[in-house]
Amino acid sequence: MRSLVRPLAGTTRGAYAPAITAAVALVRLAAAWGPHTEITAAALQKIPAQSPIRELLGPEWNGLTSWCWMPDRRRSLAVENGVAFLTDDFLFLPGVPPDVSHTMPSVEATWAPCFRRALDALRMETPWNAARWVGTLLHFVEDTGAPPHAWPRGPHGPMENWVRADKISIADSPLRVLGEDDDSAAAAFLAAMRRYADEAAERGRQIEPLATASNRPGVEAIALVSANESANMAAAVLETLGRLASQPPASAVGELHGRLPVARGPPPPVRPKVMVAGHPWSTVCAPDGRWSLRRLPPGEYELIAALPGCSPLRARANVVAGHDTEVQFESSSAAASRGRLMNPDFSLRWTRPNAPDYWQWQKESWGSEAVPVAPGERIRLLVEWTPHSTASLVVRWRNSYAPTGGRTASEPPIAPGETERELVAPDWATNARLDLLMRPGDPTNAVRRISWMPVP
């Protein structure tokens, strides 16, 4: 791919206007620490009016009570004002499996990378992006303190849902600050998380026989202590992140920005994402396709862009201290493509080399992300099979943006030999998912590319 980098004279800091977005109501799942919203709300209340984190997140601050559910909404489409984003864009992170369990000890693998990632997002990305990464971190922090997540035995539902959410309050607890520089704060965060997980496990051990005996008041009394401790940890994380992110950079930094094409809806177009190869940094574009990454250390970077219907676009960028550099991807093909499937040739592997981003192996198939459709829309589906493929492709129409639930109808399977089919979306469908049924292994063993194109 051709790439073109234009250094600009001076910087254009703060050139974007934060869009006022309606916080999307997030669906609660049955197996989730019941009161994430109330725990986060108690933490937000604890943060003083002048704290840097409030200023850094600006209009996105109150949305944290929604974004703290992000990891429970894995593989979903979230639609705001007619434009969609993929929740996986705030969960996919090199080094952290997107399907990591939220229970001890697995959840421990999220602590350090998600703490650093949220801190980077506050420094480098828009408040819209940063709030969603902070929400993901809050979820893992809060889940760690849920009695059945810290003590994964006994009846899970009652152990985490028998709690009086209306009584959660940390007004009388001190607000902790975990450290004054990145490394000491990260180390203090991990040490505090370990203590907090141990104490939650001890409460879980006490709750287990009470929940088994259906002693709801007994469970509630202990679970409330855990919920308040979750709020204390969340508040400490928020205050610490804000202080760290608002410190001036220790050495000179530069900035990158650009713009990628975004289709017009309806159906809601999915926002593109820009990733930095070999680093945990990425950012999701604004509804007009603009993106920026601030406070990058000077040097050469390879950038990757993911857009619906396109193979990943690549560009090289040279970050110069004190400069804001415009990055141009080879985007003419992207603008021309009306395709909607993310990573249609499975070649984007930013998070893990052995599996394609935006596809998930699920027992006997590779499942796609949700592809938005308009009810009654005509779609041309093209499949490039490999020579001896024995796989088949199933299209499932959906009216829920979550991976399960809602109304579903499947098209008859498409098998090798059939390379093109025209489909009509049912008049109730809002999206479709594709399942590539095959033996375990890389999806490129079966298919080279899938195109999902609306017929004009």
Q: Which residues of this protein are in contact with Zn ion, per CB under 5 A?
A: 32, 72, 102, 143
Instruction: Using the minimum distance from each CB to Zn ion, give the nearer residue, 140 or 329.
Output: 140
Task: Give SS3 for 10.
Answer: coil
Determine if the peptide bond prior to 105 is cis (ω within 30°): yes
CB 169, CB 99: distance < 8 Å: no
* Residue (107 or 122) nearer to Zn ion, CB: 107
What single letter denotes the amino acid at residue 149? H
Pick the closer one to Zn ion by CB: 138 or 262.
Answer: 138
3-class SS of residue 13: coil
φ/ψ (deg, to 5) at 83: -125, 140
**Nearest distance, CB of residue 152 and Zn ion, angstroms:** 12
Tell the smallest beta-carbon distance from residue 367 to Zn ion (Å): 20
Considering beta carbons, is residue 102 or 259 the nearer one to Zn ion? 102
| Nearer CB in complex with Zn ion: 148/287 | 148
Tokens read off for 124? 């480098």
| Cα-based distances in Å from 179 to 186, 188, 197 | 8, 7, 20
**Least distance in Å: CB of 391 to Zn ion?**
32
- State the CB neighbour count (10 A cutoff) for residue 172: 6
* Listed residue (320, 340, 300) closest to 453, CA to CA: 340
Residue 298 neighbours by CB under 8 Å, 6+ apart? 252, 253, 254, 319, 320, 321
Nearer to Zn ion, 106 or 184 (CB): 106
Residues 6+ apart with CB under 8 A from 172: none
**Closest residue to Zn ion, based on beta-carbon distance:** 102
* Residue 25 to residues 68, 80, 106, 166, Cα–Cα distance (Å): 11, 10, 28, 19
Shortest Cβ 170–Zn ion spacing (Å): 21
Q: Note if the bond before 248 is cis, omega within 30 degrees.
A: no
Minimum CB–partner distance for residue 196 and Zn ion (Å): 16
Residue closer to Zn ion by CB (options 32, 137) is 32
Q: How far is the CB of 30 from Zn ion (least distance, A)?
A: 11
CA distance 309 to 330: 14
Q: Which is nearer to Zn ion, 75 or 123 (CB)?
A: 75
Q: How far is the CB of 109 from Zn ion (least distance, A)?
A: 14
Dist CA 233 CA 220 (whole Å)? 20
Let me know: does 67 contact 132? Beta carbons within 8 Å: yes
Token pair belonging to 98: 């997107």
Alpha carbons 293 and 255: distance in angstroms, whole number: 6
Q: Please identify which residue in the block is written with the tokens 């603008």.
A: 335
Minimum Å gap between C-beta 84 and Zn ion is: 22
Taking the complex as a whole, the smallest distance from the CB of residue 29 to Zn ion amounts, in Å, to 8
CB nearer to Zn ion: give 67 or 452: 67
In the complex with Zn ion, the residue whose CB is nearer, 138 or 253, is 138
DSSP class per residue in 87-105: GGGGT-BTTB-TT--SSTT
Nearest distance from C-beta of residue 348 to Zn ion, angstroms: 26
